[in-house]
Amino acid sequence: MDRQWIEGLPAWLQILATLTLAIAAALALHWAMALLLRRAVARTATRTDNFLLDRFVRPARWVLIVLALSFVQPLLPLAGRAEAAWARLSGLLLPGLVGWLAVALLGAIHDVVQDRADISVADNLMARRRRTRATILYRIGLFLVLLVTFCMMLMSIPSVRSIGVTLIASAGLAGLAVGAAAQPALKNLIAGIQMAFTEPIRIDDVVIMDGEWGRIEEIRLTFVVVKLWDERRLIVPVSKFLENSFQNWTRETAQLLGTVLWYLDPAADIARLRAKLAEIVQANRRWDGRFFNMQVTDMRPDAIEVRALVTAADASTAFDLRCDVREALLAYIAREMPEALPRRRQEIGGSAGGPA
């Protein structure tokens, strides 16, 4: 860069003008490159390059600014403390930008996997498996990248580096103390890594945990968010899914077998009810066409237990189908077969004419 036109200015003004020009040039170059890349990406059918561009456009801006400042640094009239401060700042910025680029790369890969794993389809087992594994591994990778970046930034400071060498000698007892204090967090962290490969749960799985019915909404590094049926959120430590028993209704497939119970009079015409059940189920759009039946499964002194089994494509559909079948058959019984409703019976002793 030609500095003849600013040689007559004060030193601080020369520094300000040089830095301003360098930053402006970097921003202009970034704008032009981003514009060209967006036009090129718009012509492609795949969305992978869109995710890469969206993730890298911001860190690339700062990388160009740092490169421009490094290029003009020899032209700046720096000396003494100013030069030392510049070197210290560069030592902090370089690992920070490298870490930012690594985070952007992880985010782009995660976005691509999320985009290709569509969980809105009916048979979404493989998609949920990919999303779950990608989410857990992304959070683990993000944690490791941030940890390494932070350590590299600290190691660029001589005073911190010398303190770290001194502390290594006494790190044994400190490590034991920290390990004991951080045992719950480390336990959940290790459980999160284990969950990424054993897959006891996946994103969008239907589970029953602590007596609550809900879906796996989010899997973090140390905890899982379960969205309950009434819009509440249940926060569960990751280790609990590995140590305690829970129900997973969609472990292998989303299809479910739903149960509907009625308590009716022992004299109820089951064959007639079975025929009506077939009519109700076959007319319901929530039934997946696999199976249904009706059986008397228990008998009590004043009622019999009648159970119907119906199949549906997923848990939420099965719940709605059960409600539909229960309501429809109850309406039919009340309208056409009131004699099937339970009645209280009283034992009558003696003759019909009463005591003599």
- Tell me the per-residue pLDDT of 95-149, one tens digit each, with 9 for 90 and over: 888 888 888 888 888 888 877 777 666 666 677 777 777 887 888 888 888 888 8
Q: Is the pLDDT of residue 308 over 60?
A: yes
How far apart, in whole angstroms, are the C-alpha atoms of residue 129 and residue 197?
A: 10
Q: Is the pLDDT of residue 196 over 50?
A: yes
| HEC-encoded secondary structure of 229-286 | CCCCEEEEEHHHHHHCCCEECCCCCCCEEEEEEEEECCCCCHHHHHHHHHHHHHHCCC
pLDDT band at residue 282 using 50, 70 and 90 as cut-offs = very high
pLDDT band at residue 351 using 50, 70 and 90 as cut-offs = very low
Which pair of tokens denotes residue 342? 């339970």
pLDDT band at residue 302 using 50, 70 and 90 as cut-offs = confident
69, 25 Cβ separation under 8 angstroms: no
User: What is the percentage of the chain residues whose pLDDT exceeds 70?
Assistant: 75
100, 44 Cβ separation under 8 angstroms: no
Alpha-helical runs (H) found in the chain: 11-42, 48-72, 81-116, 125-155, 158-168, 171-181, 183-198, 238-243, 270-283, 315-336
pLDDT band at residue 270 using 50, 70 and 90 as cut-offs = very high
Domains of the chain by start residue, with CATH: 4-116 (no CATH), 153-252 (2.30.30.60), 256-340 (3.30.70.100)
pLDDT of residue 274: 93
- How far, in Å, are 55, 60, 294 from residue 100 at the CA level? 10, 10, 61
pLDDT band at residue 305 using 50, 70 and 90 as cut-offs = very high
pLDDT of residue 355: 45
pLDDT of residue 169: 47
Give the SS3 label for residue 295. Answer: strand
Pick the range with the lowest mean pLDDT from 6-20, 224-238, 254-268, 286-300.
6-20
Span 178-192, average pLDDT: 61
Whether the model clears a pTM of 0.75, i.e. scores above it, the answer is no
